[in-house]
Amino acid sequence: MILVRGGGKAELIAYPIGPSLVNWVAMVPVAEPGPLPGDANWNRPASAQEVLRHFDGWDLGWFDLPGLIGNSATILEYPMVDRDPLPSWGEGRVTLLGDAAHPMYPVGANGASQAIVDARVLADELARDFPAGLAGYESTRRKATSAVVAANREMQRTVDERSRRELLRITETYRRDTGAVRS
Ligand SMILES: Cc1cc2nc3c(=O)[nH]c(=O)nc-3n(C[C@H](O)[C@H](O)[C@H](O)COP(=O)(O)OP(=O)(O)OC[C@H]3O[C@@H](n4cnc5c(N)ncnc54)[C@H](O)[C@@H]3O)c2cc1C
């Protein structure tokens, strides 16, 4: 996996998702963070040229950035959004789970993990008591995920302030704590 930030604001993350398949994400700020002017325009097809112009002048030497982006079969563009925590996720027999309940910036790489934890807590609560368990699920998970949304927003806001040394420390701690490094 590679994560590269340049002198400008563009950031590139790329990682293999199969024997000869790479997923890449180019994060490019195009406006000050704030409410979207219209509906979110999800998964709009984009061209390689459009993406590459944000990486003009990048020369990673060891990594063929124009080749990676230029040879991509599909490129999709979408806004990076989060949302203020909701006061409730539903009523009666209706609730929300995952991104529908707590969309967050992906800087913490934990939106999907939070959806899985939602599912686990929901299943436990419903096994205990249906439909009253829905309220227990919501109060447990709404509090926890609100904190994660706030933490991710803060991480996104302060991304420029994090030093190379701090990033290294976070990466090493993560690898150690998750067993990602085998000795
Ligand atoms: C760039 C990026 C990197 C990320 N990296 C990570 C990471 O490393 N780790 C991590 O944990 N999370 C990560 N996430 C977040 C993660 O992708 C989401 O949090 C997760 O996919 C949310 O799952 P979900 O099932 O709630 O919603 P979704 O994955 O959005 O699934 C909702 C599904 O419902 C379908 N749908 C919508 N409307 C209808 C309808 N009316 N009828 C039928 N189907 C419908 C949609 O097509 C979609 O398939 C990342 C997100 C982004 C954008």
For 145-160, the pLDDT digits (tens) are: 999 999 988 888 777 7
Active site annotation includes 15: yes
Higher pLDDT, 181 or 99: 99
Higher pLDDT, 138 or 170: 138
Least confident of 38-47, 98-107, 143-152: 38-47
Q: Quote the ligand 1 centre to 61 CA distance (angstroms).
A: 34
- Residue 97 has a pLDDT of 97
Ligand 1 near 116 CB (within 6 A): no
Q: How many Å separate Cα 94 from the centre of its chain?
A: 26
Domain ranges of the chain: 2-77, 98-178
- Residue 60 has a pLDDT of 85
SS3 159: helix
Percentage, residues of the chain above pLDDT 90? 52
SS3 18: strand
Kindly list the distances between the CA atom of residue 56 and the CA atoms of 42, 50, 51, 60, 138, in Å, as whole numbers in the listed order.
25, 11, 9, 12, 46
**Catalytic residue of the set 15, 78, 137, 174:** 15
- Residue 68 has a pLDDT of 93
| Nearest Cα to Cα of residue 25 among 40, 8, 7, 5 | 5
Q: Indicate if the pLDDT at residue 128 is higher than 50.
A: yes
Q: Quote the ligand 1 centre to 98 CA distance (angstroms).
A: 8
Token match 């909701």: residue? 86
- Mean pLDDT (whole number) for 51-75: 91
- Taking the C-alpha atoms of residue 58 and residue 165, their distance in angstroms, rounded to an integer, is 22
pTM: 0.84
Q: At 120, is the pLDDT very low, low, confident or very high (cuts 50, 70, 90)? A: very high
- Taking the C-alpha atoms of residue 55 and residue 12, their distance in angstroms, rounded to an integer, is 9
Give the containing element (helix H, strand E) for 137: helix 133-157
- Mean pLDDT (whole number) for 89-103: 95
Task: Identify which of 99, 104, 107, 110 to mutate to test ligand 1's pocket (most ligand atoms within 8 A of the CB).
Answer: 99
Ligand 1 near 3 CB (within 6 A): no
Q: Quote the ligand 1 centre to 31 CA distance (angstroms).
A: 23
Atom of ligand 1 nearest to the CA of 78: 53
